[in-house]
Amino acid sequence: MKIFSFNNSGEYALYNPSTDETILSSDNKDINSEADSLIAGWMDERNHNPVIKDDELLAAWNEYLRKSFKKEPITDKVLTSFLKSYKNPGWIVYTSTFEASNESIGSFTIWLVVLADTIIE
């Protein structure tokens, strides 16, 4: 899948015009996990329990972890490698790093697998 980074400062929305769904907006920074346009979401590279709504993608992710990275932590590099290698021309990935409101947490990165016609507006 192609991965697109976006700058999350300012006004924006991750929006799918064909389903008329906002997946992520700047005003609340909440992810609409109920959106049909959202296939999967990793809310942080340290998150071992992503939201994956597609059974084939879930199976591929579990197999990727089982074969390659049993003892290694999930990192940005590991997740990026998996997402780039997964083939589905109808999906794309948007990623961005956010600053946490709690300074002890630090920043966190999200990856959202969405239908390919999803846009930043």
State pTM to two decimals.
0.87
Q: Would the pLDDT of 33 be above 60?
A: yes
Mean of the per-residue pLDDT values of the chain: 85
Residues 37-59 pLDDT 10s: 999 998 765 566 789 999 999 99
Q: What's CA 78's distance to the chain center, in Å?
A: 13
Residue 52: which of 108, 63, 15 has the closest Cα?
63
20 to 50, 82, 96: CA distances (angstroms):
24, 29, 22
> Contact 114/92 with Cβ under 8 angstroms?
yes
The mean pLDDT of 75-87, rounded to a whole number, is: 90
Instruction: Tell me the residue type at 47.
Output: N
The mean pLDDT of 60-76, rounded to a whole number, is: 78
Q: Would the pLDDT of 102 be above 90?
A: no
Dist. CA 83–CA 87, nearest whole Å: 8
